[in-house]
Amino acid sequence: MEENLDKLFDYRPLIPGSGRFASIVGIGGGAGRVVDQMRKCCLPDVQLYAFGMNRKEMDELSLCGKYLIGQEGLGSGKDR
């Protein structure tokens, strides 16, 4: 198994020439807020993304890479 680890983890930049080597993805409201706080740390070579179902929570994030999933934008509770 250990001999296959080099093939499993590819450490090349995600976007050639960008120098970015990692992506951090937050899924859901709380995780999105954590990733948004990470943005303030100016982490080098990192892309930050958030995915969520609640339009209000997603609008409050200041990330460039934020994505609303689902159709209504009301979150998983839909009426809460």
Average pLDDT score over residue span 49-57: 88
Q: Where are the domains of the chain?
A: 23-68
pLDDT of 35 > 90? The answer is yes
Cα angle value 17/67/59 (rounded, 5°):
115
Average pLDDT score over residue span 19-34: 85
Q: Measured between alpha carbons, how far is 11 from 5 in angstroms, rounded to an integer?
A: 11
Average pLDDT score over residue span 46-55: 88
Comparing CA positions, the residue from 70, 43, 35 lying closest to residue 55 is 70
- Give how far the C-alpha of residue 40 lies from the chain's centroid of Cα atoms, to the nearest Å: 14
For residue 43, give every residue at least 6 positions away whose Cβ sits within 8 Å of its Cβ, in sequence order, or none.
Answer: 24
pLDDT of 5 > 50? The answer is no
* pTM for the whole structure: 0.65
pLDDT of 21 > 80? The answer is no
Q: Measure Cα distances from 71 to 44, 66, 67 in Å.
A: 34, 15, 12
